Amino acid sequence: MVTLLPRIFSIVTMTEFILGNFANGFIAPLNFIDWVRRRKMSSADQILMALAVSRIGLHWVIIINWYTTVLHPVLYSLEVRIFVHIIWAVSNHFNIWLATSLSIFYLLKIANFSSLIFLYLKWRVKSVILVTLLGTLVFLFFYLAVICIDEKTQINVYEGNITGKTKLRDILHVSNMTVFVLVHLLPFSMSLTCFLLLIISLWKHLKKMQLNGKGYQDPSTKVHIRAMQTVFSFLLLYASYLLALVILIWSSSRLQNELLLMFCEVLAVLHPLSHSFILIWGNKKLRQALKNIRKIIRLPYH
């Protein structure tokens, strides 16, 4: 059973890798082709396309890390580990913040509040998204600096005073964990805020509809519910993703339970994979294109 589980985890990881590349490889080219044909692209499609590209990179980084750590540990040199860690940090950053920007976009486009600040942000939604993405680059550069310092300490840990180096390594490892949690807690909090505000907006809308004696199945209600489902799914998957990453980073230097680490890596891949399919389901254009592909595939069998 002990030798069987790694094989099962490897099969599951490869399946997630293939499905993830299919989903994101479907979103990005479709939006690009639509942009070339129409010579314009909506803000939501721009975010979706950029998110799909970042997730393709994230899937490749995760599979390379899995290949070098699980299947061929001999190849997992210190240089490979540093390279994978940095590339993962970049792709993961854009994966998280583009998804968060999508939650902000849904909130500003769908929700209705009378606040002047909200109305101003709603009117300047493109600028809000752009400033959010550019502003978060500060977190990325800071986190990359912490990673480089941490890895450099790992290289020199056996040089000079081993006890002093080991203490410094432990301090930097804790610092790395602290920065990691803070960097990932902010987008989660922002997405959670967007979700709660969407609930409040929907509640106010339903109350208004009830006072006017109208039904609840109007377009605005459906749009609210669809956006809330998308944001909630991101929050749920992101929470499991964050938990898996915390365990991986905290235990990476110890490897006390290899099966637990394998399970966490499988769980980590599930977030970008599942959320991409949810985005396809929640987007009318993408959903219809996928149905058309399924019809074409089934056509020869009729």
More confident residue, 22 or 150: 22
Average pLDDT over residues 29-48: 85
Q: What is the pTM of this model?
A: 0.85
Question: Has residue 181 got a pLDDT over 90?
Answer: no
Residue 83 and residue 90 in contact, taking contact as beta carbons nearer than 8 Å = no
Residue 63 has pLDDT above 90, yes or no: no
Which of 158-172, 188-202, 242-256 has the lowest average pLDDT?
A: 158-172
Where residue 302 falls among pLDDT bands split at 50, 70, 90? very low
Q: How far is CA 168 from the centre of its chain?
A: 32
Across the range 172-183, mean pLDDT stands at 73
Query: What integer is the mean pLDDT of 91-96?
Result: 91
Determine which of 91-100, 256-265, 272-281 has the lowest per-residue pLDDT on average. Answer: 256-265
pLDDT digits (tens, 9 = 90+) for 23-35: 898 888 888 888 8
Residue 154's pLDDT is 61
pLDDT averaged over the chain? Answer: 80
Confidence at residue 131, expressed as pLDDT on a 0 to 100 scale: 93
Domains and CATH numbers, the chain: 4-289 (1.20.1070.10)
> pLDDT grade, residue 292 (50/70/90)?
confident
pLDDT grade for 200, boundaries at 50, 70 and 90: very high
- Residue 55's pLDDT is 92
- Residue 214 — very low, low, confident or very high, per pLDDT cuts 50/70/90? low
**pLDDT over threshold 90, residue 100:** yes
Q: Which residue has the higher pLDDT, 54 or 250?
A: 54
pLDDT at 10 over 90: no
**pLDDT value, residue 294:** 67
Percent of all residues in the chain with a pLDDT value above 70, rounded to a whole number? 78
Report residue 43 CA to chain centroid gap. Answer: 18
Band of residue 146 on the pLDDT scale cut at 50, 70, 90: confident
Residue 255 has pLDDT above 80, yes or no: no
Q: What is the mean pLDDT of residues 111-136?
A: 90
Predicted confidence at residue 193, as pLDDT, reads 93
Question: What per-residue confidence (pLDDT) applies to 54?
Answer: 93
* Residue 161 predicted with pLDDT over 50: no
Per-residue pLDDT, 152: 67
Rounded to whole angstroms, the Cα distance separating 30 from 147 reads: 35
